[in-house]
Amino acid sequence: MNSVDILDRLIGFPTVSLRSNRDLIGYIQSVLGEAGVEAIQIEGPHPGSLNLFATIGPADRAGVALSGHTDVVPTEGQAWTTDPFRLTRVQDRLYGRGTADMKGFVACAIRAAVLAAKRDLAAPLHLAFSCDEEVGCVGVRPMLDLLADQGVRPLACIVGEPTSMRLATGHKGKIALAVTFKGREGHSALAPTLLNAITLASEFIQAVTALQDEAERQGVRDEAYDIPYATLHVGRISGGEALNIVPSRCVLEMEIRSAEPAEAEGLLERIKAAADAIVKGRLARFPEAAIEIEVRNAYPGLNAAEDDVAAALVRRLIGANETMKVAFGTEGGLYRERLGTPTVICGPGSMDQGHKADEYVTQEQLDRCDRMMDALLDHLAAQ
């Protein structure tokens, strides 16, 4: 069984986030079981969502964990030219939802586990496959809690998000916010006497934009990132029932991404202060005026030392010394935070292909990932 055969099966499971991935996890468990590998299922945060953890080799020694998520983003509204849930080969490209992000790595990891079961490993290989990563890295947390409680702390962790098989040592952390604006509704002919919640939202967005400009000019910088400063982004907004009604409620969703936790918290406090200032001038006339800010989700960034155990290991495995940092978030910071495990990112494909129609990974990238896995097994056997 090769990685493409496994990937073909994985793509056939439409494991969109917040939907069940039970069939996919069952398939992986059956493949591992046929190889004599016992894997456990760990319930995720939503009905039908499962994580999977397996150890191949001596469980009394610290080993290396291969971390991958099994959920994918939706395909609705995207103009695919192939069936997104059927692997389609066109020359060197393998098309399908999740081929790059990140079932390609998961397929290579399963292949490696089957091969590992035939070898006498001196240190173990761990598989850690999660659910519901694409909605804020929420699915992996119950699995990490269980591993921490059981004292499972791998020596190193490789998160296989797509990096074109380059070594990535960091990504920014993220805080996701839901902001609710409350005003006073009424007939639009009387708009000047009422408080439009959308107007409050527009003033709030202007304040967020000003903070973004300031972060670019004066914020903490890390030139290893494509965007070397913190980012603030408003992604969704909704409000109003009809054109002739002044809306009393509006809701937006936004995020803060920063490589520095202290900076992120500082930006959050300044956002709250801006909201308070917007409301303060209205309270005498509209005592119901309010801007409520709720932290919906947050995950930590990752900033691995250039010479830590995981980075040094991956350098040897891929035969390259250069490093990078990625713009997107991963579960890597949670592995570091919850288990204290040195963690880096390295996987096949490019995120330039992720989250859009006609997502693909190349055969060349899968082959490079397989070679990394083969080198990892040699390393674990030699310990």
Same domain, 45 and 24: yes
Same domain, 192 and 122: no
How sure is the predictor about 169, in pLDDT bands with cuts at 50, 70 and 90?
Answer: very high
What does the pLDDT average to over 197-223? 97
213 given a catalytic annotation:
no
How sure is the predictor about 365, in pLDDT bands with cuts at 50, 70 and 90?
Answer: very high
> Quick check: bond before 373 cis, omega within 30?
no
Same domain, 192 and 283: yes
* Structure token digits, residue 226: 């494509």
> In sequence order, what are the beta bridge partners of 178?
253, 294
pLDDT, residue 283, reads 97
Say which of 8, 71, 260, 331 is annotated catalytic.
Answer: 71
* Structure token digits, residue 308: 């830590």
What does the pLDDT average to over 19-43? 97
pLDDT, residue 1, reads 82
Range of the domain at 269: 173-299
End of a domain among 299, 325, 360?
A: 299
* Structure token digits, residue 7: 């990937």
Side by side, the strands of the sheet bearing 93-95 are 88-90, 93-95, 360-362
Same domain, 39 and 55: yes
pLDDT, residue 383, reads 79
End of a domain among 269, 299, 329?
A: 299
Same domain, 156 and 215: no
Percentage of residues of the chain with pLDDT beyond 70: 100
CATH number, residue 12: 3.40.630.10
pLDDT, residue 306, reads 83
What does the pLDDT average to over 341-350? 98
pLDDT, residue 143, reads 98
Kindly tell me if the per-residue pLDDT of 266 is higher than 90: yes
- Residue 374: Cβ within 10 Å count: 15
101-115 tens-digit pLDDT? 999 999 999 999 999
Same domain, 34 and 156: yes
H/E element, 234: strand 231-239
Percentage of residues of the chain with pLDDT beyond 90: 97
Say which of 8, 101, 132, 133 is annotated catalytic.
Answer: 133
71 given a catalytic annotation:
yes
> In sequence order, what are the beta bridge partners of 303?
170
H/E element, 178: strand 173-182
How many domains are contained in the chain?
A: 2
pLDDT, residue 14, reads 98
* Structure token digits, residue 5: 């055969």
User: 149: exposed, middle or buried (C-beta count within 10 Å: 0-12, 13-18, 19+)?
Assistant: exposed
Looking from the CA of 50 toward its CB, the CA atoms found within 13 Å total: 17
Same domain, 37 and 158: yes
CATH number, residue 261: 3.30.70.360
Same domain, 295 and 309: no
122-164 tens-digit pLDDT? 999 999 999 999 999 999 999 999 999 999 999 999 999 999 9
Kindly tell me if the per-residue pLDDT of 307 is higher than 90: no
Distance, CA of 31 to CA of 111 (rounded, Å)? 9
Same domain, 81 and 163: yes
Mean pLDDT over each residue of the chain, to the nearest integer: 97
| 8 A C-beta contact, residue 155 and residue 94 | no
> What does pTM read for this prediction?
0.93
Distance, CA of 268 to CA of 258 (rounded, Å)? 11
* β-pairing verdict for 50-56 and 290-299: unpaired
* Structure token digits, residue 375: 């080198």
Same domain, 321 and 343: yes
Same domain, 29 and 132: yes
Q: Tell me how far apart the terminal alpha carbons of the chain are, to the nearest angstrom.
A: 27
Same domain, 260 and 306: no
End of a domain among 299, 328, 355?
A: 299
* Structure token digits, residue 75: 């395909």
Q: Which of 49-53, 58-62, 147-151, 349-353 has the lowest mean pLDDT?
A: 58-62
Distance, CA of 145 to CA of 274 (rounded, Å)? 36
Q: Which residue in 181, 185, 187, 204 sits closest to 195, CA to CA?
A: 185
